[in-house]
Amino acid sequence: MWQVSGAHGAIDPVRAVDAMLAYHDAGFFTWDLADHYGPAEDLIGDFRRRFAASRGAERLSEIQAFTKWVPYPGRMTRRTVEDAISVSRRRMGVDRLDLLQFHWWDYSDRGYLDALRHLADLREEGQIRHLALTNFDTERLRIIADDGIRVVSNQVQYSLIDRRPDARMAAFCGDHKITLLAYGTLLGGLLSEKYFGRPEPQRSELNTASLQKYKNMIDA
Ligand SMILES: NC(=O)c1ccc[n+]([C@@H]2O[C@H](COP(=O)([O-])OP(=O)(O)OC[C@H]3O[C@@H](n4cnc5c(N)ncnc54)[C@H](OP(=O)(O)O)[C@@H]3O)[C@@H](O)[C@H]2O)c1
């Protein structure tokens, strides 16, 4: 749901939820969002309410939605962590997050371990079903595992162009039963028929945050 964040054009919330209902009917049951993807968490809340009204509350269990928590660096107290998770639960209209992906900006600040310990406690208490990471490197995956914190997955960029996870992360994750959840697999559409056999796109044609970001990846 990064594509509703605002960086890919304006989103009409009513039409967005119409589309989400149609996607569900077509068999797409799982939604990938984040606390900072604009209205994404609120759209899940609206979607669930309209889904329950039109298809019955008993079918809400068909829907899975996972979000990310990407905090500003700072002290990670139980209160800070629980408040952030409560905001996502309230916006999405769920008692328990199906999966929470945690990201941390600054490895020199070991506060990420405090945050993860509190998140693991919230998981034990039922506020989170599965705890996961996004954009962590292998060195930090090892520190987290050595600390006894269990995570189910790490979401990282992985494509024909960007194969960094092959170097060390894939083997580490295989050994530790951590699933790699890839993003950027189509480079936002740059790896598609649309650009096949065409000259390199000009910067002015790259009119979304994704196309700009993934063009930088190709150049790198
Ligand atoms: N954890 C993270 O840091 C992170 C980072 C980025 C993304 N994500 C998650 O991953 C999700 C997917 O994003 P992504 O960046 O990974 O996207 P992606 O899979 O690299 O690209 C998807 C885009 O490719 C285009 N596309 C797909 N098939 C196509 C075709 N046959 N021809 C032309 N274009 C085609 C579509 O763009 P159009 O709709 O514009 O046509 C589509 O939105 C996001 O919504 C977000 O939830 C997570």
Encode pLDDT of 114-136 as tens digits: 999 999 999 999 999 999 999 99
pLDDT recorded at residue 90: 98
Summarize the confidence of residues 147-157 as an average pLDDT.
98
Atom of ligand 1 minimally distant from the CA of 101? 1
77 Cβ inside 6 Å of ligand 1: no
Atom of ligand 1 minimally distant from the CA of 183? 16
Q: DSSP string covering 64-92, please?
A: EEEEEE-PPSS---HHHHHHHHHHHHHHH
> 158 C-alpha vs ligand 1 centroid, how far in Å?
12
Residues acting as catalytic residues: 37
- In this structure, the residue with its CA closest to atom 22 of ligand 1 is 188
Summarize the confidence of residues 24-50 as an average pLDDT.
98
Token duo for residue 175: 């050994």
Atom of ligand 1 minimally distant from the CA of 33? 47
The Cα–Cα gap between 10 and 3 comes to 10
- In this structure, the residue with its CA closest to atom 25 of ligand 1 is 189
Summarize the confidence of residues 55-67 as an average pLDDT.
98
Summarize the confidence of residues 164-178 as an average pLDDT.
98
> What is the per-residue pLDDT across 81-104, written as a single tens digit (0 to 9) for each?
999 999 999 999 999 999 999 999
Confidence at 73, pLDDT banded by 50, 70, 90: confident
Summarize the confidence of residues 199-213 as an average pLDDT.
94
> 103 C-alpha vs ligand 1 centroid, how far in Å?
19
Taking 90 as the threshold, does the pLDDT of residue 105 lie above it?
yes
Domains of the chain in start order, with CATH, are 2-185 (3.20.20.100)
Summarize the confidence of residues 48-74 as an average pLDDT.
97
**Per-residue DSSP letter, 26:** T
pLDDT recorded at residue 203: 92
Look up the pTM and report it. 0.96
The torsion angles phi and psi of 154, rounded to 5 degrees, stand at -130, 125
> 77 C-alpha vs ligand 1 centroid, how far in Å?
34
pLDDT recorded at residue 194: 94
Residue 154's DSSP bridge partners are 133, 180
The Cα–Cα gap between 35 and 22 comes to 24
pLDDT recorded at residue 126: 98
pLDDT recorded at residue 42: 98
pLDDT recorded at residue 158: 97
Taking 90 as the threshold, does the pLDDT of residue 112 lie above it?
yes
Percentage of the chain exceeding pLDDT 70: 100
Side chain identity at residue 65, one-letter code: A
Mean pLDDT, rounded, of the chain: 97
Summarize the confidence of residues 200-218 as an average pLDDT.
95
Confidence at 211, pLDDT banded by 50, 70, 90: very high
Side chain identity at residue 24, one-letter code: H
pLDDT recorded at residue 171: 98
